[in-house]
Amino acid sequence: VAPSENGCCGRAVCNSFIRTVTTSFGSICFGSLIVAFLRALETLAQMARANDDGGIGACIAQCILSCLASMVEYFNKWAYIYVGVYGFGYLEAGKNVFELFKNRGWEAIIADDLVGNALLLVSLIVGGIMGALAIVFTKTTSWFDSAGGNDVGAAFAIGFVVGLAVCSILLSTVASGVNTVIVMFADAPADLQQNHPDISQKMRRIWGEIYPGSV
């Protein structure tokens, strides 16, 4: 994307957003439906295990379903990029993006992706800060008087959960942006070099140092 088309309201971003919420919306729903279905089955297996109805079979089923759901969520993370950028169908998008990484020899690179861990740490820190602010509110207001003697713990828990949830949702856009840059860098390195030469050269240099022969 040319520098003149950058920004949250740039032509490329707007086109991808429109495509995502219109013609490609079904692909996104399909991927989410698969995860929801697997998580529902996992919950049923967990309930059966808790009630001692399924024995070892319920435990094995829960483990398998949990692994499958995690694999589909990981698959979705990359497939949705091709869905939004190119308008491919769900299965075609996932196949193309993983074939791209395989042809580039980047399987190890995406496996070593630490962006999610870094953003989770930020979310935890924000949650802790919000919990601390909630404790301050217990000392200066009467909002948590109904909690009895455990007002500090209740305030911290509420503040932590709210801060963690809101921050995680906001930072998910950052994670998606990073994943998109990785995919586009693998898919069209010449375009990145042409439109953003400084970023392209820096990425090539750093990636070449960490993963020799990957670029």
pLDDT tens digit sequence for 101-133:
877 776 656 666 678 888 999 999 999 999 999
- pTM (predicted TM-score): 0.72
Instruction: Identify whether the C-beta of residue 119 lies closer than 8 Å to the C-beta of residue 174.
Output: yes
Closest residue by Cα to residue 69 from 92, 36, 112: 36
Tell me if 100 sits within 8 A of 186, measured CB to CB. yes
pLDDT, tens digit, 9 for 90 and up, residues 20-33: 788 888 888 998 99
* Side chain identity, residue 7: G
Sequence-separated (6 or more) residues with CB below 8 Å from residue 106: 100, 186, 211, 214
